[in-house]
Amino acid sequence: MAMINAKNAHYGQVDHKVENISERKGVIILPSPQAWQKLNWTRKYFQKKPKEGYFIWVKEQPLFSLTTCIAIASKKVSQHLNNLLVIEKNIKAKANVVCRAVRSNLDCLHRAQGKLILKEKASLEYNHFHQWGQKDLVNPDYQFILGKDSQLIYNYKNLAPPKNLQLKTAVYNDDNASANLKFIINALNSKINLKDTVFLKGKNSQGIVNLRLVGRQKSRIEAVSEIFAQAPAKGHLDCQGLLVSSDSVISLAPKLVCQNKKAQLTHEASIGKISEEELNYLRTRGLSEKEAINLIITGFLDDN
Amino acid sequence: MFLEIKNLKVKGNGQEILKGVNLKIKKGECQALLGPNASGKSTFVQVIAGNPKYQISRGKIIFRGKEITKLPPEKRTKLGIALAWQNPPAIKGIRLDRLLKKINLGLKGPKRKFGSKLDFDGNLLSRQVNLDFSGGEKKMSELLQVLSLNPQLVILDEIDSGLDIKRLEKMARLIRKELINKKIALLLITHSGTILRFLKPQLTNVMLDGKIICREKNYQKVLRVIKKYGYDKCKKCPLWAS
């Protein structure tokens, strides 16, 4: 979980109000509307004037993490965020990003459009944590533009999902760029629509996507995971679901589209249930049935 | 009596596997149960541990004066019954040290740690439970978990299979030190009987076709007969007919 640390560069927002910004040497952080006004070049990425959200521009090699925390603390709040993160050439950065509702009964809307630009030979580890209430609607739509020889590690983790989550992610890889994406979602009384697409546009680019989806009580998960190879490139999809409750549904659709005869795309997909043998084994270790199920789920979600 | 099994009949997948098993174990006693493959040994110990996969059609299991025939496995473990599985399943994503910590959290009384005494290559604890463990590593992991449960009655199902002689000796030394010397009751299930030479049980039982057909104080005698004639000799034993 991302923590506010005095050494980190940080952006914090609660409801619609920017609570704190901590800039550090070589890192510019602004609310998105200010970035739109002050920095003309950002307009091509924002496309339209943003109302709220963050702009982070990493110009020099940081010796600290970037952290953001977007929270909702009031009832019926509707956030419409436009976020832009730009990592300059040759820079390695790590970002811990939290989006959450402070309480579980706020009935809020969180809509976020994000664009993350990795310039040539840049590298980013982006850890994205979500924690929502049972009535919330959440709709993140992120695009990652990966320049030549850049590297992205994207980890999305949602162990407290909202009532409705529409999560859309697109990654565009230039030559030699690599993207490694992992989505971990533990659905409980939730409707989840997940769509991730990796476009391998550049020569020798690579994309790996891992989905680990758990369907607990009254959940409906639909995941579409796609890789398009438009150049000699390599891609792999690993989609795994664990259906815990019989009143839930998981639908996994891996899709490979190869538009270059030198490209190599592979996938594996499976949906399983909790193994009775594992469950009984753990019970003979003194764990209750519920504790054993939770441990098996934890292992499933953490397993690489 | 510490553990008493009365006329236990058990079904699995619609077939009768145990056909009226009787067994008594005293507090601190070490007993062995031998038998050929598919004679019902593993089913028997899984039923004592409370595995809900099997249906008990008749009989009773009494442990420390309390009937536990219908008790769920976790409650039996809390009462002091610990089973080392013959073929334990892998728990993906969970490290052995994490499982041991979880086991310890659920226990009352002093916590026990045995990792350093058992660790095979120094990294067993940091690996996912039973995932890609060798046969010997699985046995070590099972014993480690069983000891961590602070047990009163330990059932070791084929703990000697897949171990080379050096590891078997190491395992046997630890069982003697941590269980037999501490007067913890022990039921050793074995197909080959190799481990009995190290642990010298007070009573040796033989199971054939879902029934215990022989009880003998001299384990060497039983081993000699089985080694010489196989379990076929047991089938011809006059006690079998009864």
What is the distance in angstroms between the Cα of A299 and the nearest Cα belonging to chain B? Answer: 4
**Alpha-carbon distances of B71 from A244, B45, B68, B81, B184, rounded to whole Å:** 24, 15, 5, 12, 22
Average pLDDT over residues A215-240: 97
- Using a CB–CB cut-off of 8 Å, the residues of A that contact B are 275-278, 280-289, 291, 295-296, 298-303
Instruction: Look up the CATH number of the domain holding residue B24.
Output: 3.40.50.300
Report the C-alpha gap between A257 and A280 in whole angstroms: 42
User: Contact, B88 vs B142, CB < 8 A?
Assistant: yes
Instruction: Report which of A237, A235, A236 is spatially closest to residue A223, judged by C-alpha positions.
Output: A237
Residue A299, pLDDT score: 95
Between vectors from CA B111 to CA B200 and to CA B169, what angle results, nearest 5°? 25
Residue A26: pLDDT over 90 = yes
Count of CB contacts below 8 A, A vs B? 75
Q: What is the pTM of this model?
A: 0.87
Residue B122, pLDDT score: 60
What is the distance in angstroms between the Cα of B167 and the nearest Cα belonging to chain A? Answer: 24
* For chain A, percent of residues with pLDDT exceeding 90: 96
Express each pLDDT in A78-128 by its tens digit: 999 999 999 999 999 999 999 999 999 999 999 999 999 999 999 999 999
Asked if B92 lies within 8 A of A299 by C-beta distance, the reply is yes
Residue B211, pLDDT score: 94
Residue A7, pLDDT score: 81
Q: What residues make up the domain containing B64? A: 3-241
Report the C-alpha gap between B11 and B187 in whole angstroms: 22
The DSSP string of A38-91 is: H-GGGHHHH-S--SB-EEEEE-S--SS-EEEEEEE-STT-EEEEEEEEEE-TT-
What is the distance in angstroms between the Cα of A99 and the nearest Cα belonging to chain B? Answer: 26
Q: Which residue among B74, B89, B90 sits closest to A283, beta carbon to beta carbon?
A: B74
User: How many domains are there within chain B?
Assistant: 1
Express each pLDDT in A139-167 by its tens digit: 999 999 999 999 999 999 998 999 999 99
Residue B117, pLDDT score: 56
Report the C-alpha gap between B183 and B180 in whole angstroms: 5
Asked if B77 lies within 8 A of A302 by C-beta distance, the reply is no
Express each pLDDT in A198-224 by its tens digit: 999 999 999 999 999 999 999 999 999
Report the C-alpha gap between A285 and B49 in whole angstroms: 10
Neighbours of B10 (CB within 10 A): 23
Domain ranges of chain A: 9-302
| Residues in A touching B92 (Cβ below 8 Å) | 299-300, 303
Residue B239, pLDDT score: 59
Show the low-confidence residues of chain B (pLDDT under 70).
Answer: 106-122, 237-242
Instruction: Report which of A227, A215, A86, A99 is spatially closest to residue A146, judged by C-alpha positions.
Output: A86
Task: Report the mean per-residue pLDDT for chain A.
Answer: 95
0.85 surpassed by complex ipTM: yes
Asked if B78 lies within 8 A of A286 by C-beta distance, the reply is yes
Asked if B77 lies within 8 A of A282 by C-beta distance, the reply is no
